[in-house]
Structure 1
Amino acid sequence: MTRLILASKSPSRAALLAGAGLDFALEPSDVDERAVEAPLLAAGADPGTLALHLAEAKALAVAARFPDALVLGCDQTLGLDGERFVKPESAADARRQLERLRGRRHTLHSALALAEGDSVVWRTVEVAGLTMRAFGDAFLDDYLARVGDAVRASVGCYQLEGLGITLFEVIDGDYFTILGLPLLPLLAELRRRGGLPS
């Protein structure tokens, strides 16, 4: 199969691919996400559409540098009652986001796109719904102190594979989708392309 490149600097996405036994290279994209989003937001695009366009833009940006490779672009958006969240820039931003999310259900849209040369050859958007507990301020203080800077690493201010799981009471959806890389549809596509044993 063509060489696989992950167009991401996410350690969790790289760990998921490595854990599944995939051989790949890392080449983060230099896409300006806010610039890609601006016209889409102005047109009223939903979170799934935003995630897909961003995943495609990242895959195509790296594929332009490595035209003989199969490039995987990824993106994830979080929506709550029509409001879109982005990764917090500070601990104070993270606190505000968690205060908005607690006691409520939000939706994660995780998009993947495979590009070869100047074309997107495969895409998917998977959805998960998560309901946070109505935790108190003392719990939130402790959580933020324990996770430290890692709270800014994800759009939801949590990692389910760590302390983030303690924030939740209900999770509906695929675990890999929540982590930002829907692995099962990706593996199915790679098998279809002959890159994995079937």
Structure 2
Amino acid sequence: MTGLAGSGIVLASNSGSRKAMLEAAGVAFTAQAAEVDERALEAEMDGAEPAEIAQALAAAKAAAVSAEQPGALVLGSDSLVEVDGRRFDKPTSRDNAAAHLRFFSGKVMTLHSAAALARGGQIVWVDSDFARLRVRELSDAFIESYLDAEWPAVSYCVGVFRIEGPGVQLFEAIMGDQFTVLGMPLLPVLDALRGEGALPS
């Protein structure tokens, strides 16, 4: 992919929104999905703050790909959703997605997005940000029509939404950085890439 960056940046993800953010920012990169047991890592960190878990997951993804590509600067990222003190992962089925949306209805969702950089298998930087999204009251009819349109695309999305698509209809207010809502704290990431010499300063 062409862009302002030199070669050697690897995104440890196949997330369409994260790829689009980097492409729009003019960052050249390749992508390789990380093989990480996210649920096992979350279980090990049971009781930790969501931001800590998101950072640990981002770091684990970056480190896993970096171990396979030691000469590259690897960017890992992860997002977690918390509603009423409960942490939510990606939905496992359409019925599970509908149950998530019914629980989210009328509540405030806190979305934690983290990113990490690794080189030679070692983490060199990690950070996170959060946004709060107020979910409007969702009728069962809306939830079904929404999933008719968006399933299975949103099966890959924590929070069961793509904010750049029909998912914006879930919300009545959003408080936070747009990039964080899209799934990665882009401005700190760009600053870190410059600090590592991967982008011109």
Q: Hey, what does 1:88 align to over in structure 2?
A: 91
2:158 aligned with 1:176? no
Partner Cα distance (2:125, 2:68) in 1: 19
Q: Contact conserved, 2:7 with 2:28, CA < 8 A, in 1? A: no
% identical equivalent positions: 48
Question: Per-residue deviation at 1:6?
Answer: 0.4
After superposition, what is the alpha-carbon deviation per residue over 1:128-152, rounded to whole angstroms, capped at 9, x for unaligned? 0001101222222211112121131
Correspondent of 1:28 among 12, 33, 51: 33
The residue identity in structure 2 corresponding to 1:150 is A
Q: Which portions of structure 1, spanning 4 or more consecutive aligned residues, are displaced by more than 2 angstroms?
A: 191-198
Q: Hey, what does 2:159 align to over in structure 1?
A: 156
Correspondent of 1:14 among 7, 12, 19: 19
Q: Hey, what does 1:117 align to over in structure 2?
A: 120
After superposition, what is the alpha-carbon deviation per residue over 1:95-143, rounded to whole angstroms, capped at 9, x for unaligned? 0000000100010110100001132111111100001101222222211
Q: Hey, what does 2:135 align to over in structure 1?
A: 132
Partner Cα distance (1:2, 1:100) in 2: 44
Q: Contact conserved, 1:2 with 1:68, CA < 8 A, in 2? A: no
Q: Contact conserved, 2:62 with 2:76, CA < 8 A, in 1? A: yes
Partner Cα distance (2:156, 2:72) in 1: 28
2:199 aligned with 1:196? yes
Could you say what secondary structure the match of 1:169 adopts? strand
The residue identity in structure 2 corresponding to 1:95 is A
Unaligned 5+ segments in structure 2 are: 1-5
Could you say what secondary structure the match of 2:62 adopts? helix
Q: Hey, what does 1:54 align to over in structure 2?
A: 57
Q: Hey, what does 2:66 align to over in structure 1?
A: 63
Partner Cα distance (1:109, 1:10) in 2: 16
Question: Per-residue deviation at 1:13?
Answer: 0.9
Q: Contact conserved, 1:91 with 1:151, CA < 8 A, in 2? A: no
Unaligned 5+ segments in structure 1 are: none
How many residue pairs end up in the alignment? 196
Q: Hey, what does 1:101 align to over in structure 2?
A: 104
Partner Cα distance (1:19, 1:139) in 2: 32
Q: Contact conserved, 1:72 with 1:112, CA < 8 A, in 2? A: yes
Q: Contact conserved, 2:7 with 2:29, CA < 8 A, in 1? A: no
**TM-score for both structures, normalised by structure 1:** 0.95
Q: Hey, what does 2:77 align to over in structure 1?
A: 74
The residue identity in structure 1 corresponding to 2:24 is G
Q: Name which of structure 1's ranges 64-73 and 2-11 shifts more when overlaid on structure 2.
A: 2-11
Partner Cα distance (2:158, 2:184) in 1: 14
